[in-house]
Amino acid sequence: MQKSWSFKLTPFRYLLIGLVGIAIVVALARLVFGLGAVTNLSDEWPWGLWIGFDLLCGIALAGGGFSTALIVHVLHKEKYLPIARAALLTSLIGYVIALVSLLMDIGRWTNCWRPFFYWGFHSVLFEVFWCISLYTTVQVLEFGDIFFERVKIGPLKNILSKAMVPLTILGIVLPTLHQSSLGSLYIVTVDRLNPLWWSMIIPFFFVWSAFFLGPAMVTIEGTLAARAYNRKPETEVFSSLTKVTMCMLIVYFIVKMIDLNYRGVYSMAFNGSFESNMFLVEMIVFVLVPIFMYAIPAIRNTQWGVFTASVLVVVGVVFNRMNVVFTGMAQSAGGHYFPSIWEWLITLGMWSALALAYLFVVENFPILVKEDHEQEGLSSGKSVSTGRSVEA
Amino acid sequence: MSKGVLVDVSRCIGCRSCMVACKTWNDLPATKTEFTNNWDAPGKTDAYNWTVVNYHLIEQGDQVKWRFVKRQCMHCDEPACESACFTHSFVKTKEGAVIYKPTELNQDYCVGCRYCMVACPFGVPSFQWDKSLPYVQKCRFCYDRMKEEGLKPACVTACPTGTLKYGEREELLKEAWQRINSNPNYIKRVYGEKEYGGTSWLYISDVPFDEIGLKTTAYGKPVSEKSIPSYTWNVLKWTPYIFVGWGAILTALNFYTKRRDEVHHHEDMYEAVNTIEEKKDE
Ligand code: SF4
Ligand code: SF4
Ligand code: SF4
């Protein structure tokens, strides 16, 4: 497989490259002229599209990395190996996006290195900051293991292989902590965030949803990759993952209901306000519907069924984050916020860069499972790798 | 010896001398105002207006009253802004002022993440949106006057009606209750005594606080009397235990489920896809 680096350019990829180019220009303008000149942010809406969508959702969507790592490398459920590397890759790229949007968003970006030296450990943001930095490093190292399969530097590869187990564990503990602390960020908004979303256990909701989002994200990504590269999707792996997602969704729903009841705000969900409607949509369309789709074998075992349900789950988590950042804060913040064209362009550019990076890596590194082994292994449902039988 | 200011809303005549004094002492630029017909439109503090006086038209039965309310940072006893900042850029001084270190003490660590703005329950900290490297801005209780020269804050000095009274927080609190108890017109509450764990600025009033823009309820419930840092700390304190505990669980699981023949030889099962036709790629 040792060929020269390849990256075939198609019109679609030219478009992506163009979008990245525009975003870079806008980003430079933002760094030079400041946030006020480029964004629609204000004292009432200090956090907008970049924090709300790119950072919070980028990181949530990267949940595939740590949930798959847990299932495959810690619980050793090896039938899920075919998707492990792709999950790691998307997760890594998701984090890079989060870091870039963070850099874009901080007003005094020339001070971005300061938090490493002045420790405000009583701040939730401190935890978020350290976990993101460390975990990105861990993921780069984990990816190094794959990188050196292609770029052969013997000693480095050996060192990395030895470090893999502790790295993997660190690579689960860190995201667990900070997925939850992304939620804890909003504990501070006592009396500001709508009680339908504000809760002392919002950290639990965040980490739990990031976890169940993982398998769904892997499903979507795998299906799209299979389609793009004209391969056979690992439908069987996907539909067996749905058990994990479904159970977690059910737990999520139950805890949510108990929490609302406990805080005595249950009735707020039905008072007909904009917030209550958004909440009902979130719960019904993006939690209950996927639970039923996953529960019914006739849907779960088909490619479109598992794909659609997974899309609902992923969109649902994004929807939930948007509700926390925007819907739930609207009433107390007052004023209004809609991202400016420049904010959209940077966001668009970042996600285009993500797509390009993914394509490049997948086409140059061993990420996806070899076709011939996979065909046989998956259709028999017993083994996925050559010569070794693996129990489920 | 924590200082405070007692604001007696019933005495304020809305002259706005306090606003002018604040601008003058702190060298804040003038901002353009717009004429509106809406007299009682509440204005907000921003990066260049650290204090504002809001006009409120209050109807009680067939009576109509004007009330004027000076607003600024409340200088909380346990400030949310301080606990939220991960670069230690806010500090509650022993004198009672909550100050922003980058501009006050030249300790320029602030990265401009604006989490302090999200955290403040009164929506006080503001950002210099017009600057390319903006600072956070808010009332600093004239910390320089208070600390070095033993002076009252500029606004207190300027107030012609005795609406504002500077002193020890404890004594002001006593005086506030004295005034309330000796005059039945007052609402039986000192705003800032308990709200969010207590604030250095205290308000008393003869009209309900929520009608003059001071937040008494949120989403149908009374505002919290616990400080905001006490909420976050309740969650944050678990971090080390989760870190160690979860790490231990994972390590145990890892060894428990590990197969004996398990070696990291998965290399053969993956491949790069560059050899495959990309016809559907668009
Ligand atoms: S009112 Fe807001 S800015 Fe002022 S001390 Fe309290 S939390 Fe900080
Ligand atoms: S904007 Fe500055 S002062 Fe406010 S929380 Fe961030 S680093 Fe701290
Ligand atoms: S100076 Fe005193 S009377 Fe005049 S607006 Fe300010 S607080 Fe009210």
The full 3-state SS of chain B, as one line of letters, equals: CCEEEEEEHHHCCCCCHHHHHHHHHHCCCCCCCCCCCCCCCCCCCECCECCEEEEEEEEECCEEEEEEEEECCCCECCCHHHHHCCCCCEEECCCCCEEEHHHHCCCCCCCCCCHHHHHCCCCCCEECCCCCCCCEECCCCCHHHHHHCCCCCHHHHHCCCCCEEEEEHHHHHHHHHHHHHHCCCCCCCCECCCHHHCECEEEECCCCHHHHCCCCEECCEECCCCCHHHHHHHHHCCHHHHHHHHHHHHHHHHHHHCCCCCCCCCHHHEECCCCCCCCCCC
Amino acid identity, position A231: R
Alpha carbon A325 to its chain's center: 16
Mean pLDDT to the nearest integer, B4-11? 92
Long-range contacts of range A259-267, CB-CB < 8 Å, 24 or more positions apart? A259/A199, A259/A201, A260/A196, A263/A195, A263/A199, A265/A195, A265/A196, A265/B219
Amino acid identity, position B263: V
Query: How many CB pairs below 8 Å do chains A and B form together?
Result: 257
Residues with beta carbon inside 6 Å of ligand 2? B 84-85, 87, 89-90, 110-116, 136
The distance of B95 to chain A (nearest Cα, Å) reads: 22
Q: Where do we find the tokens 């030219």?
A: A14
**What pLDDT is attached to residue A166?**
79
What pLDDT band is residue A236 in, cutting at 50, 70 and 90?
confident
> Taking a C-beta distance cutoff of 8 angstroms, is the pair A350, A99 a contact?
no
What pLDDT band is residue A388 in, cutting at 50, 70 and 90?
very low
Q: Could you report the per-residue pLDDT of A46-105, keeping only the tens digit for each?
A: 888 888 888 888 887 777 788 888 888 777 777 777 778 888 888 888 888 888 888 888
Q: Could you report the per-residue pLDDT of A153-172, keeping only the tens digit for each?
A: 767 777 777 777 778 888 88
What pLDDT band is residue A387 in, cutting at 50, 70 and 90?
very low
Alpha carbon A214 to its chain's center: 7
Q: Residue B137: phi, psi to the nearest 5? A: -135, 145
**What pLDDT is attached to residue B260?**
43
In a 13 Å sphere around the CA of B31, the CA atoms on its Cβ side amount to 17
Query: What are the DSSP calls for A132-200, one per residue?
Result: HHHHHHHHHHHHHHHHHHHS--HHHHHHHHHHHHHHHHHHHHHHHHHHHHHHHGGGGGTTTS-TTT--T
ipTM of the complex: 0.83
**What pLDDT is attached to residue A264?**
83
Mutate which of B72, B74, B114, B194 for ligand 1 pocket (most atoms within 8 A of beta carbon):
B74
Residues with beta carbon inside 6 Å of ligand 1? B 73-76, 79-81, 98, 120, 122, 124-125, 138
A277 vs B246: which has the higher pLDDT: A277
**What pLDDT is attached to residue B277?**
45
Mean pLDDT to the nearest integer, A230-256? 85
B263 vs A231: which has the higher pLDDT: A231
Is pLDDT at A248 greater than 70 in this prediction?
Answer: yes
A124/B232 Cβ within 8 A: yes
Neighbours of B30 (CB within 10 A): 9
**What pLDDT is attached to residue B281?**
42
What pLDDT band is residue B47 in, cutting at 50, 70 and 90?
confident
What pLDDT band is residue A390 in, cutting at 50, 70 and 90?
very low
Mean pLDDT to the nearest integer, B124-152? 88
Q: What is the C-alpha separation between B221 and A191, in angstroms, rounded? A: 9
What pLDDT band is residue A258 in, cutting at 50, 70 and 90?
very high
> Which residues of B are documented as binding site?
12, 15, 18, 22, 73, 76, 81, 85, 110, 113, 116, 120, 139, 142, 155, 159
Q: What is the C-alpha separation between A245 and A251, in angstroms, rounded? A: 10
Both tokens assigned to B47 = 């990066």
For helices A154-184 and A124-150, angle between their N-to-C axes, nearest 10 degrees: 150
SS3 A369: strand
Q: Residue B129: phi, psi to the nearest 5? A: -65, -15
A364/B242 Cβ within 8 A: no
Q: What is the C-alpha separation between B133 and B217, in angstroms, rounded? A: 36
Ligand 3 binding pocket includes B102 (Cβ within 6 Å)? no
Q: What is the C-alpha separation between A259 and A71, in angstroms, rounded? A: 28
In a 13 Å sphere around the CA of A327, the CA atoms on its Cβ side amount to 21
**What pLDDT is attached to residue B172?**
92
**What pLDDT is attached to residue B274?**
59
Ligand approaching nearest to the C-alpha of A190: 1
What pLDDT band is residue B282 in, cutting at 50, 70 and 90?
very low
What's the burial of B107, exposed, middle or buried (CB within 10 Å: 0-12/13-18/19+)? Answer: middle
CA A181 / ligand 1 centre spacing (Å): 22
Amino acid identity, position B231: Y
Neighbours of A137 (CB within 10 A): 15
**What pLDDT is attached to residue A372?**
55
What pLDDT band is residue B196 in, cutting at 50, 70 and 90?
very high
Alpha carbon B243 to its chain's center: 31
Q: What is the C-alpha separation between B116 and B135, in angstroms, rounded? A: 12
Global confidence as pTM: 0.85
**Of all helices (H) and strands (E), which one includes residue A102?**
helix A81-105
Tell me, what DSSP letter sits at residue A370?
Answer: P
CA B47 / ligand 1 centre spacing (Å): 14
**What pLDDT is attached to residue B202?**
94
> Taking a C-beta distance cutoff of 8 angstroms, is the pair B225, B29 a contact?
no
Closest CA to B118 of A13, A124, A142, A120: A124
> Taking a C-beta distance cutoff of 8 angstroms, is the pair A127, A166 a contact?
no
Is pLDDT at B279 greater than 50 in this prediction?
Answer: no
Identify which of B44, B80, B281 has the shortest CB distance to residue A188: B80
Neighbours of B185 (CB within 10 A): 10
> Taking a C-beta distance cutoff of 8 angstroms, is the pair B124, B136 a contact?
no
Q: What is the C-alpha separation between A65 and A170, in angstroms, rounded? A: 12
Strand partners, A76: none
Mean pLDDT to the nearest integer, A364-392? 49
Tell me, what DSSP letter sits at residue A267?
Answer: G
Closest CA to A317 of A227, A383, A220, A226: A220
Q: What is the C-alpha separation between B60 and B64, in angstroms, rounded? A: 6
B280 touches chain A (CB under 8 A): yes
